[in-house]
A and B are shown apart, each in its own frame.
Chain A
Amino acid sequence: MADWVVVPAYNEATVIASVIADLRRYADHIVVVDDCSADDTASAAHSAGATVLRHSINRGQGAAIQTGLEFALRRGADTIVTFDADGQHDAADLPVLLAPIRERRADIVLGSRFTGQSNVPQLRRWLLRGAVVFTRLTSGLRVTDAHNGLRAFSRRGAEAIHIRLDRMAHASEIMDLIHSSGLPYTEVPVRVRYTDYTRRKGQRGMHAIRVAFDYLFGRWVR
């Protein structure tokens, strides 16, 4: 099976090489979508052995993921994992993530930081719990972690995903797309590392309001 990993990256030059080195132990094809970084993310990723796609204008994480998915599908990917570039995910989770797809139990597998043992900071935990309730109300999907960048798709699953919301609201949009595709999905426990770096690079809590607006407006206006 051709296993692909899509890594959307924006200004991650200092960490991207080690992320790719970890991934290479578990997957053959790694594609980094450099979303017009101002630093050396692209060349660092290239040297580390990834295929690098470069957005000539910054378009946001949702857009970068969609670019990676389309590229991997064109190259004949059988499975595609999306993996954040900041080092918050653990490459060792890939086999766990891909297992339900290999066993043909699911076409979409979502990583959850809440089903297993959890190390999520308190404030973040409340915010993400709010996001889960939001997802249940808007998408009708019952998940425990709606905003985890670590996901796996079968080829069929990836083909059902067409992300239109370019920026951070894509996480909620993916939930909608999963629901409307009717494809089987499941959650597996994954680890999320909270370091000073990932927390600095991550989303601020207040940003959630803007994201919710983008999402709701995007649903309404096609």
Chain B
Amino acid sequence: MGALTTFQSIAIVAAAIAFAAMLAAAALHRLEWRTAFAWSALWALAALTILKPSITVAIAHFLGIGRGADLVFYCGILGMLFGFFVIYIRIKRLESEITRLVRALAIRDAEEGRDVASR
């Protein structure tokens, strides 16, 4: 493997901290174990490809992509798009829950005869 480059040294420390942080969060009940494991696995994978970039090159070639860095880039974009989509759906759901709550309050107030003009 040889000596680590500056980038590798910094990135590996960052990945290790992120890896540990996920597990610590789960241990402190800030995160579900399932979620923590998924994130930890992702950081472990990141650490592996930082230490041995030749892995991504091999996979990239297998898929017909020229460079390993391009493969990582494509995966990153896809992952982000998926993330946006999930968040969008969650916001939609949250909005419809707010609507149901606002509706229930409006109907309850009217049925209990609370005076609208005074509010």
Q: Interface on A for B, CB 8 Å cutoff?
A: 33-34, 42-43, 46-47, 51-57, 59, 63, 66-67, 70-71, 74, 164, 166, 221
Q: Are A56 and B102 in contact (CB under 8 A)?
A: yes
Q: Are A54 and B119 in contact (CB under 8 A)?
A: yes
Residues on B with C-beta less than 8 A from A164 are: 96
The answer to whether A59 and B116 touch (CB under 8 A), given A52-B110, A74-B107, is no
Residues on A with C-beta less than 8 A from B30 are: none
Q: Are A43 and B107 in contact (CB under 8 A)?
A: no
B-side interface residues, number (CB < 8 Å): 18
CA distance A6 to B95 in the complex (A): 23
6 residue pairs bridging A and B, Cβ less than 8 Å apart? A42-B117, A46-B115, A55-B103, A71-B110, A164-B96, A166-B95
- Most chain A CB inside 10 Å of its own CB: which residue of B105, B109, B110, B119: B110
Q: Interface on B for A, CB 8 Å cutoff?
A: 89, 92, 95-96, 98-99, 102-103, 105-107, 109-111, 115-117, 119
Residues on A with C-beta less than 8 A from B98 are: 57, 59
Q: Are A56 and B103 in contact (CB under 8 A)?
A: no
